[in-house]
Amino acid sequence: YQTSVGGISSQGSQMAGGSSREVKIVSADDIERAQGQLIGQSTDAEKKALAKKFVNGEKVIDSSFTVDRAEAVSVPAVNAEAPATGKAKLTIATTYTLYAIASADLESYLMSSLKTQIDNENSQKVYSTGADQVGLSNFRKEGETLTVAITATGQIGPQIDEVAIKDQVKGKIYGEVQSALQSIDGVKDVDVKFSYFWVRTVPNNTDKIKIEFKLENE
């Protein structure tokens, strides 16, 4: 080629040789798509793994399970050249959290709650707190305060002295036993079973008398 500007002239020839190549760039769309795939994965396995860490009989609060994710980090970064494999690496630091209540604390709380419903501790007592079938829901965390709704069915019944009952029914016939025991506050039904069909009277020996209590709906 040849040019001339203001009395200054130059000349040369076309460039030849050199090399060119295509490169892949990590785009924001690539990261967004990969991030969506990571976040969309099931977290059931992580939840089960955390629940297995409670090995002392704690009651797990299912509704307390949370997943906290940090900002996604791409290597290489956005607009940087991708590696020879054509694949970038995306990492999202994730924290999984699950709460549980110690069984002893739960039992103590339910027992205290039921005792407030007893009018006379001399004639009534708590037979079951319902802790074995408790329901835990609506977990909330506000600052350092944790709250959860507890649903349980406890059972309160009459305070019965087995030794006194045996002494009370010895020597009595079927009907007398029923009348005596059904007069106790909280007792709804009484059944008397004898060893043999021809026996009609409770033994006078209290060692031969067996008392069995059954809670309603048990």
pLDDT tens for 187-209 read 878 888 888 888 889 989 989 88
Q: Model-level pTM greater than 0.85?
A: no
Domain membership of residue 217 (yes or no) is: no
Domain membership of residue 124 (yes or no) is: yes
**Domain identity same for 124 and 112:** yes
**Domain identity same for 143 and 172:** no
Pairing of strands 94-101, 59-69: antiparallel
**Domain identity same for 28 and 86:** yes
The residue among 60, 83, 101 that closes a domain is: 101
**Domain identity same for 127 and 88:** no
Mean pLDDT, the chain, integer: 84
Say what angle helices 162-169 and 174-182 make with each other, to 10 degrees. 140
Q: pLDDT exceeding 90 applies to what percent of the chain?
A: 38
Domain membership of residue 4 (yes or no) is: no
Domain membership of residue 121 (yes or no) is: yes
**Domain identity same for 139 and 190:** no
Q: Which residue has the higher pLDDT, 5 or 150?
A: 150
Q: Which residue has the higher pLDDT, 84 or 15?
A: 84
What is the domain range of residue 203? 160-208
CA-CA-CA-CA dihedral for 128, 131, 133, 135, to nearest 10: 130
- Mind listing the pLDDT tens digit for each residue in 38-97? 888 899 999 999 999 999 999 999 999 999 999 888 888 877 777 777 777 888 899 999
Domain membership of residue 90 (yes or no) is: yes
**Domain identity same for 47 and 90:** yes
**Domain identity same for 83 and 150:** no
Using alpha carbons, select from 158, 131, 164 the residue that is nearest to residue 213: 158
Confidence of residue 136 (pLDDT cuts 50, 70, 90): very high
Domain membership of residue 15 (yes or no) is: no
Residue type for 64, please?
A: S
Domain membership of residue 8 (yes or no) is: no
User: Mean per-residue pLDDT for 123-132?
Assistant: 88
**Domain identity same for 56 and 125:** no
pLDDT of residue 5: 45
Note the Cα 56 to chain centre separation in Å.
14
pLDDT of residue 7: 46
**Domain identity same for 31 and 79:** yes
**Domain identity same for 109 and 97:** no
Confidence of residue 160 (pLDDT cuts 50, 70, 90): confident
pLDDT of residue 10: 46
Domain count for the chain: 3
pLDDT of residue 6: 46
**Domain identity same for 91 and 133:** no
Domain membership of residue 11 (yes or no) is: no
Q: Is the pLDDT of residue 4 over 50?
A: no
**Domain identity same for 95 and 127:** no
Q: Is the pLDDT of residue 3 over 50?
A: no
pLDDT of residue 100: 97
